[in-house]
Structure formats: structure tokens, C-alpha cells
Structure 1
């Protein structure tokens, strides 16, 4: 193989690997992922580090949860807002 062919092959390989890495990072929106936050939201106790990590992971899903009539009351509750703030997760502006 010529050097130019090897370089092109290497670039294509890097792009494919990068694309695959991006695809695998996609978040699966599941409110059950936030079960570690249930006690903090219901009682107002400080959130655990696991809760904060899950909130940060599920942040792209928050608008979906807010728009769900069954979940809206929990996401918009004062305790939920306090937990989000404590974890450094900003409440998104949902359309």
C-alpha cells in the first residue's frame, strides 16, 4: 500500500471510531434512572452523588419528563428544583 492510501485508511478508521463513540454516548430517557433521587425529591434531604450523576446524565430528557402529565408534578416540585440546583443541573427551557 502506498503511504497516501495508508493515510486515507487511517483517517477513515479514526472517523468511524469517533462516530461509533458518539453513538454509544446517547442517553436512554427513562424516569426509573432517577430512582436514586426519589428520597431527596420527596423529603427534601440532600441528594446523593449517585442522584446528581443520574440527573446530569438524564438532563437531555428533562423536557420530555416535564411534558409528561404523570411526571410533571415531580419534576416541577420545589424539592425537585432544589435537588437539581444542589446537583448543579439547570432546569431547561422547554418548548
Structure 2
């Protein structure tokens, strides 16, 4: 059941990250979900290092770390995705 929650949280974080980043992101939904999952993992590690691993009630600070990590990861991966996609389009036009 843990993998299902990871996918759900990754999907939500990825969608929120895409909404926060200005401009249009071209990465597909599956890649956004993977980036959201990675953002949750990195955010948890940063929260643990900052000493806010678990707090009573809702862990708002941990969620903020997760969201910031997801925004950074989605932005970087989208730039890499577009660079790779653009390279493939140029190669197709030459052929």
C-alpha cells in the first residue's frame, strides 16, 4: 500500500509544482509524477536533516520541503526534457 501512496503524493506534488512554475511545461504526466515522487523523497530527507522529521499534527514544514523540492526537480527535468526533445526534432528535420 505504500507504493500507492507514493504515486498519489507524487502525482499531487508534480501537478502543484507544474502549476507554480511560470510558463508552459512540456513534460508528460508520467514524468511529472515521477518528479513529484522524487520531490517527496528529497523533501523528506531535507526535513529530517533540518530536524522537522515528525511533528504533532500536520507536518506543514515537511510538506513545504517536499513541495519546494518537487518544484525544483520538475523545473530541471522539464528543461532537460525539452533540450532532448528539441535535439531529436532537429535530427529528424535533417534526415
- Relative to total residues, which structure has the larger helix share, 1 or 2? 2
Q: TM-score, with normalisation over the residues of structure 1?
A: 0.30
TM-score for the superposition, normalised by structure 2? 0.30
